[in-house]
Amino acid sequence: MLFLIILTTLNFLFPLRLQVDYSPVITASDGSVINAFLSRDDKWRMQLEPDEISPILKKAILLKEDRYFYYHPGINLVAMGRVLVKNISRGKKTAGASTITMQVARLLYPQQRTYGNKITEMFRALQLEWYYSKDEILQLYLNLVPFGGNIEGVKAASVLYLQQSPQHLSLAQAVTLSVIPNKPTSLRIGKQNNRIVAFRNKWLRYYQEQKAFPAKDILDALHEPLAASRVEAPGVAPHFAFRMRQKYQNQAIIKTTLNRHVQEKVESLAYNYLHQLRGKNIYNASVIVINNQTRAVEAYLGSADFSDAEHHGQVDGVRAIRSPGSTLKPFLYAVTIDRGLITPHTVISNVPIDYAGYRPENYFGNYSGNITIEQALATSLNIPAVKILDQLGVSHFVQKLQQAGFSQVKKAGHQLGLSLILGGCDVKLEELTALFAAFPNDGKFAPLRWQQQDTTASEKSLVSPASAYMINQILSQLKRPDLPYNADNSRNLPKIAWKTGTSYGRKDAWSIGYNKKYTVGVWVGNFSGEGVPELNGTDSATPLLFDIFNTIDYNSPAGWFVPPGNFSQRVVCKTSGLPVNSFCSDQVLDGFLPGISAVTKCAHLKKVLVSPDGKYAYCPSCLPDVNYKEKWLPNFASDILAFYESEHIPYQQLPTHNPACSRIFQEYAPVIVSPTAEMEYLLEQAEEQKLMLRCQAHNEVKQVYWYINDKLIKAAPATENLFFTPKTSGKYKISCTDDQGRNTNSYILVKFLD
C-alpha cells in the first residue's frame, strides 16, 4: 500500500514525457518509402507502423532481450535477483536483467549506468507500463534502438542499411538487426560485416538450440551473405516530398497516393526528353499524372532535374504561376455548349474583330471566313474563342474557373477580360490538369488527392456529361495542326484527347491530355522566364505527353468514352450548323443537348423579292402588285461581308434596294463599332494619335457618311476603315449615316495625357 502511494506521488512529481521526434517519411501508394527527412535532432528515426513489425524480428528480439516481456510489470525481479547473485559471487558488474521496458526508459532518458540510475530506470519502466500497452512499448523499443551513426530504430535501419521494408525482413536480416544494437559502434554495417555475420550466426545457433524457428530456415539464414552497406535516404519525387512535408507538418508518416512505378517512368522520360531540348535553350519541364477514377496524384515532377542548380532545378513547376496560353479553350466551349449557345457544328465567323480596342489575332495569322466550333477548337483559333467568350460573358466563365479551383483567377476576379481565353490570366499546372480531369469524369470536378486518406467527397458538376463527351470527341481528332512535327501518324499516337498551348512571348509550352484512366499535364519552358522562339506546345510539350501515355498506359485497355445519357444528335445545315430549313441541301449529323441547345432554324439564305431583271430589291412597302419574282440569296453576316470586301473575296451581292422606295428601316441603321461608345480615350497629344472609324452597316448598304460633331468627314464604302486625329480634349459626337438615310450617333470622351 505504502509502495503504491510512493509510486503515485513520484508519478505526479516526475511525469513521463514522451516526445519522440521522428524523421518525416513519405510513402508511396504501395507503402514503400520514397523520400525521408532528418528528424529535428538530425537523426534518421523513422516511425514503424504496427503492421510493419515482422513476426520473425519480434520473436528473435523477445527471445534474445526479454523472453518474459509479456508477463512482467516492467521489471523482472527474478532475473534481477539472478544477476545480483552473479555479480556478488564474481565480484564484477555484468549487464543484463534489463527488460525491454527498462531499455525503452533508458533510451528515453539516457544517463550513466549506476545502481542509482538503475532505480530511476525501474521507476520509469513501471510508469511506461502504467500508461502504455505491451505492444506500444515494444514498438517504441523498435523505433528507438541505436544502429550506429545517426540511425535509430528498425525501420531506418531496414531502409538505409538493407533497402528493405521492415515487414519483409528475412530471418538472417531480422537477426542481424537484433544483434547490432548490442554494440552499435563496433558492429557497423558495411564496415564490419564479417563480425556482424559471426555474431549473427552465434545467435542463430542459439535459436537453433531453442527450436525457435524451422530448422531449414535457420540453415538458410546461417549461409545468407551480408552485402549490406549504408545508402542515402531515398529521394524519389523531391519536389513532391518537400511539398508533402510542408503541408502535413505533424505527421511522422505521410502516406501519399504517388505510384512509384509511374513516378519513376515519368522521371526518366522527362530527364531524357529534356536532354534533347537543351540545344534549343529549353531547360525545364514539369509533369503531373492524375488517376481519373480516384483523382489520386500518381506522379509529380516539379522539374526534370532537381540537382540542376544552374537551371533552377529546385523550382517546383507543378505549382508555379504561369500563363495558360490556349489551354482553357476546351473548357470555354464546354461551358458554352451547356448554355445552349453552340454545338460542335455551329458555324462561327473567323474574321478580324475589335472589342473596344482589343484586337486578338490567330496564332498563324490566318482568317478563314466561316468555320465550325469543332474546327475552331481542334485548330485552336483565337478569334472564334474570343467571340464565344464575349457571347458567353467573361464573368460567367470566370465564375466557372473559380469553381474549378483556379486560385489566381479567384484573386483577379472581375479584372479579367476577354484576353483570358488566350492566356491573359494566371494558372498552375496542377490546376489546369485537375480541370482537364473533369472531362473524362462526365464533367465532374474534384480536388486532387494527395494522401491516401483524402476523399473525392466534394466532387461537383462543372459541365454536363454530354458536353464533356463532345469535347472528348473533338480533342481526340487527329486532323489538327498541333500534332508534333515528327509524329508518326499511325504507330506512335496514343488514343488520347489533348490540348496544347503556347503563352505570349513563347515562355510556356503546354500539353494536357487524357484517356479513360489518366489525365497528364505537361509544361515545358525555362524557370528563368526566358522565352525561346522554338518553344510551343505542339513541338515542345506534346512529344513528352505522348511518350508518357505510351509508357504508363500503352494501348489503354480501359477503352474509349461512350455517349452519356443526355447526349443526342440531330440533323443540321452544314452552312450554319443550325437545324435544317427547307432550302438547306447540305446536311450533317451534330450532337446537341435537347431542351438546351438553340432550336433556331437555319437562315443561310433569305427570300428577296426582286424586279424581273433582278436589278432591284423590293420591300413590302414598295413591292409592285405584279411584275416581281422571288429569289433565294445568301444571307451573310455583316462582319463576313466586311471581310470579303477587305480581302477582295468575290461573293454573291444583293441587288440594290428599289431607288423609288421611300421607307427607311431604322432597325437596320449602321452600328458604330469603333470608336467604342461612351469610352474615355487617353491620348498623347504630341503623338497625334488616331482613332479608327468603323461601322457595321446593313448588307444592302454601299456607302456611309461619317460626321464628327455634326461636320461631315468623309463619304466612304460601308466596309472601309477611316481614321481621324482628335485635336482637342473633350466630348465628341460621332455619327454614321448610310445611303438609305439611317443614322446612328455615339459619344466619346478624349483626354490628353500631359
Nearer to Zn ion, 401 or 578 (CB): 578
Q: How many residues does the chain have?
A: 754
**Cβ pair 328, 377 in contact under 8 A:** no
Cell numbers that stand for 125 in this block: 519502466
Do the Cβ atoms of 509 and 524 come closer than 8 Å? Answer: yes
Contact yes or no for 547/560 (Cβ under 8 A)? no
Minimum distance from CB of 574 to Zn ion (Å)?
7
- Asked whether position 633 contacts Zn ion by CB under 5 A, the answer is no
The residue from 661, 683, 708, 716 that contacts Zn ion (CB under 5 A) is 661
Q: Which of 517, 604, 694, 742 binds Zn ion (CB under 5 A)?
A: 604
Among the candidate windows 4-12, 419-427, 611-619, 716-724, which touches Zn ion by CB under 5 A? 611-619
CB of 661 to Zn ion, least distance (A): 3
Catalytic pick from 23, 29, 39, 65? 65
From 1-9, 97-105, 383-391, 654-662, span contacting Zn ion (CB under 5 A): 654-662
Residues 496/476, Cβ–Cβ less than 8 Å: yes
Taking the least distance from each CB to Zn ion, the nearer of 111 and 569 is: 569
Considering the complex, state which of residue 619 and residue 716 has its C-beta at the smaller distance from Zn ion: 619
Angle at 497 between CA 494 and CA 501, to 5 degrees: 110
State which of positions 548-587 bind Zn ion (CB under 5 A): 573, 575-576, 584
Question: Least CB distance from residue 657 to Zn ion, whole Å?
Answer: 6
Q: Which three cell numbers stand for residue 338?
A: 451547356
65 has catalytic annotation: yes
Residue nearer to Zn ion on the CB measure, 73 or 612: 612
Asked if 708 is part of the footprint of Zn ion (rule: CB under 5 A), the reply reads no
Shorter beta-carbon distance to Zn ion: residue 109 or 628: 628
**HSE-up (13 A, CA, CB side) for residue 455:** 3
Least distance in angstroms from the C-beta of 579 to Zn ion: 9
Residues whose CB falls within 8 Å of the CB of residue 388, separated by 6 or more in sequence, listed in order: 332, 333, 336, 341, 342, 348, 373, 421
* Residue 505 · residue 531 · CB < 8 Å: yes
**Segment lying near Zn ion (by CB under 5 A), choices 253-261, 430-438, 542-550, 595-603:** 595-603
Distance CA 445, CA 415 (A): 25
Q: Which residue has the cell 504561369?
A: 322
Which one of 622, 671, 692, 713 is in contact with Zn ion (CB under 5 A)?
622
Q: Count CA within 13 A, CB hemisphere, residue 527.
A: 22
Burial 480-495 (b: 16+ CB within 10 A, else e): bebbbeebeeeeeebe
Instruction: Name the catalytic one among 29, 54, 158, 326.
Output: 326
Closer to Zn ion at the Cβ: 340 or 634?
634
What is residue 47's three-state secondary structure? coil
Q: In the annotation, is 89 catalytic?
A: no
| Cβ(737)–Cβ(743) below 8 Å | yes
Exactly one of 619, 683, 708, 713 binds Zn ion (CB under 5 A); which one?
Answer: 619
Asked whether 306 and 239 are in contact (CB, 8 A), the reply is yes
Concatenating the DSSP letter of every residue in 71-94 gives TSSSS-HHHHHHHHHHHHHHTS--
Residue 639 DSSP SS3: helix
Min separation Cβ 572 and Zn ion, Å: 8
CB of 738 to Zn ion, least distance (A): 15
**DSSP, res 670:** P
Residue 605 beta carbon to Zn ion: minimum distance, rounded to whole angstroms: 7
Contact 503, 323 (CB under 8 A): yes
Shortest distance in whole angstroms from residue 618 CB to Zn ion: 6
Contacts of 505 (CB under 8 A, 6+ apart): 531
In the block, cell 454530354 appears at: 466
Residue closer to Zn ion (CB basis): 76 or 658: 658
321 vs 664, beta carbon nearer Zn ion:
664
Decide if 496 contacts 513 (C-beta within 8 A): yes
The nearer residue to Zn ion, 326 or 575, going by C-beta atoms, is: 575
List strand residue ranges (DSSP E) for 641-698, in order: 656-657, 671-674, 680-684, 691-696
Please work out the total of residues on this chain that contact Zn ion, with binding judged by CB under 5 A: 10
Residues taking part in catalysis? 65, 326
Residues contributing to the site for Zn ion (CB under 5 A): 573, 575-576, 584, 602, 604, 619, 622, 658, 661
